[in-house]
Chain A
Amino acid sequence: MVNNENATWSKHIQLINKTSECNRLFEFLADSLEQLPVTKEFRHDLKLVSEELLANIIKHGYDSHADGTIDIELAVDGSNVRMTFTDSASAFNPLERKDPDVINDLSEGGMGILLVKSLTDEQHYQRDHDHNVFTVTKNYNK
């Protein structure tokens, strides 16, 4: 399902659909990026992107009462860091959300995906065998 066979190396973690999993996600990310020559700003940006994508899946994908898992793979290919989020929740493509008008309508969603789009180089969504697969790529030499 996740095609990272060209990656130099990759790491994986499985989370459950609870917001308390944020801390495990942050630790996973910090450990993974430790071996790369990335800036503090790059670490922060990817942490924010990861948090927003996890929150999107928990909030919009899984029903709040349903138990679910989220598989996250971080793969490094040259200076590209690619993160893939896979879940088995209802089909949900966050890229289809329109940009928010936050000041005038607080109920409007879309702030998270706007941050994701602004802080990564590429974003891709696909529905694959009852799974949502969302991939972002960010180059640390840009």
Chain B
Amino acid sequence: MPLTIEIHAEPHEGKRISLAGSLDTDTAAQLQDKIDHEIDSTVHMVIMDLKRLEFLSSAGLRVIFKTKKYMDSHERKFMLLNLQPQVRKVFDIIKALDGMNVFKSQEEMDEYLTAMQNKVMDGDA
């Protein structure tokens, strides 16, 4: 099964990486290449949308963790969205969700971002 990668701009200098198909030992390099080209220090927020990701192995996890680590090192936001049960199970076995921003739905993430935005505006007032 191939991997489909779509990257779109989001508000607040963000980018959404939407994955579909299989992120495995054969396709992980494709994602790494895309991220290397599209994500740099000018990107303030990465949303990794896994709604249509059907399969994830440790090779794919490594790319995800590497991206999170890069964003953390630049004090930027990294968020995981729409983890399907079989994908969530992989994260859970590795105990990798601690310290990550994980959202079950777009609505839940929007609420979080709105709260963050309000906090910044309150701080500015």
Contact = CB atoms under 8 A, between A and B. Distances in A.
A48 B65 contact: no
Nearest to B87: A44
Interface in B25-78: 25-26, 55, 57-59, 61-62, 65-66, 69
A55 B58 contact: yes
Contacts of A59: 25
Contacts of A118: 93
Interface residues of A, number: 25
A23 B26 contact: yes
Given A26-B1, A106-B66, A115 B90 contact: yes
B94 interface: yes
Interface of A: 19-20, 22-23, 26, 41, 44, 47-48, 51-52, 54-55, 58-59, 100, 102-103, 106, 111-112, 114-115, 118-119
B99 A52 contact: no
Main secondary structure of the interface of A (DSSP, over half): helix
B55 A44 contact: yes
A48 B55 contact: yes
Contacts of B122: none
A100 B94 contact: yes
B58 A112 contact: yes
Contact of B25 (A41, A51, A100): A51
A118 to B, nearest CB: 5
B93 A115 contact: yes
A52 B57 contact: yes
Contacts of B98: 103
B96 A102 contact: yes
Contacts of B59: 55, 112
B69 to A, nearest CB: 6
A22 B25 contact: yes
Contacts of A112: 57-59
Nearest to B85: A41
Nearest to A47: B55
A111 B94 contact: yes
A115 B58 contact: yes
